[in-house]
Amino acid sequence: MGEVVRTLPEGDRVCGVTSLEEKIFILRWKGRAEIEVYDVITFLLQRSLPVPNSAGEFFDMTSCEHHRCVYACDPKYVHRLDVKGAAASASTRWAVNDIARGLSVNPASHNVLVTCNTKRVKEFTSRGYLLREVSLPDDVATPWHAVMTPSGQLIVCHGHLYAPVHRVCVISADGRQVVHSHGGEMGSEIGQYHVARHLAIDSNESVFVLDIVNRRVTLLSQTLEYLRQVVSPAQLKRWPYRMSLDVRRRRLYVTDNEFEDGNYTSGRVIVISV
C-alpha cells in the first residue's frame, strides 16, 4: 500500500495534475482554467498561470519531458504550454474535431494521445498535426483514458457510472480487438471496478488504474493481471478523477474533489509514495 506524503492545498475543483522539471502542475477550474505550479521538493506554490482561451470546462492534463511542455484539454481543444525554467507561455491550441475526454503522451514518439467519447483515440504531433485515429472495439463502451506503453501497447479504461461493464483493456494494433482485459461486471471486489477513469504506466510497464466510485488505485501487470491495491479508500476521502505518476520519485499525484448537490465545491491533490 502506498503512503501519503503530502496533501496539497485545498482550492477550486482540480481538473488535472502532472509533473515536469522539478515542478507539479495542478489544473483548476475557477470559471476559467488556471494552472498552479508547485515545487516538487518543498511542495510550495511558486506561481499561477492562466490558460488562454479557456472558455469551457477542462477534462485532463499531461506533460512531455522531450518537448518540455504541458498539455490540457477541454472538450474541443488541446492546449499546449511550453515550460522554460521559471516561465511558461501558451504556444499552441488545436481543435480535436471530436469531444476529448483524456490525454496522454506516447513515450516512444512523444506524440499526444487524445481519448474521445466517439470511441476513438487520436494521435497528434506536439504541434497538433493529426497522425492517425484508432477506432476502438464495439465492446469498449465509454472510453475515458488511453495510454501507450514504451513497447507500443495501447491500453484503455472504460465504463460510465451505470454501465454494466467496467474494464481496463489492451487493444490490438489495428484497434479491432481486445487482447487482454481486467474487470468486467461493475463492483467493488478485487478484479472489479466502478468507473475505471484514469491510467498511468511505470518503467516496468505495470498499469495503475484509478477507480472513482471505489476510491482506490489498483496496480496491474503488463498483461493486466492483478498485483495489489496501492491507494485505498481511506486515503481518498472524496472523488478521485485524475492521477499522474512521477516514475523517477515513485510518487502518485491523485486529484480528490468534493462533490455536493450536483456540483464540485472544492478539490485538492494527494501525493502518495508508491
DSSP SS3 for 91? strand
For the chain, domain boundaries: 3-260
Q: What is the arithmetic mean of pLDDT over 114-123?
A: 96
* Residue among 78, 115, 114 at smallest CA distance from 94: 78
Higher local confidence (pLDDT), 153 or 92: 153
Q: From 17, 59, 27, 22, select the one nearest 244 (Cα to Cα).
A: 17
Q: How many other C-beta atoms are found inside a 10 Å radius of the C-beta of residue 50?
A: 12
Q: In this predicted model, what pLDDT tens digit does every residue of 144-156 receive, in sequence order?
A: 999 999 989 999 9
Least confident of 46-55, 163-172, 234-243: 46-55
Could you tell me which residues come within 8 angstroms of residue 101 by beta carbon, excluding any fewer than 6 positions away? Answer: 59, 60, 115, 116, 117, 143, 144, 145
The rounded percent of the chain whose pLDDT value lies above 90 is 84
Whether the per-residue pLDDT at 119 is higher than 60: the answer is yes
Q: Tens of pLDDT along 221-234?
A: 999 999 999 999 99
Q: Which three cell numbers stand for residue 133?
A: 485515429
Name which residue leads in pLDDT, 94 or 262. Answer: 94
**What's the average model confidence in pLDDT over 113-121?**
96
Helix (H) or strand (E) holding 118: none
Q: Which stretch of DSSP H or E encloses residue 209?
A: strand 207-211
Beta-sheet strand order (sheet of 87-95): 60-64, 69-73, 77-84, 87-95
In this prediction, residues 153-166 reach a mean pLDDT of 95
What does the pLDDT average to over 184-210?
Answer: 96
Supply the pLDDT for residue 86: 47
Q: How many CA atoms lie within 13 A of 139 on its CB side?
A: 16
In the numeric block, the cell 485515429 is attached to 133
Q: Is residue 257 scored above 90 in pLDDT? A: yes
What is the reported pTM? 0.95
For the domain with range 3-260, which CATH number is right: 2.60.120.260, 2.120.10.30, 3.40.190.10, 3.40.50.300?
2.120.10.30
70: pLDDT strictly greater than 70: yes
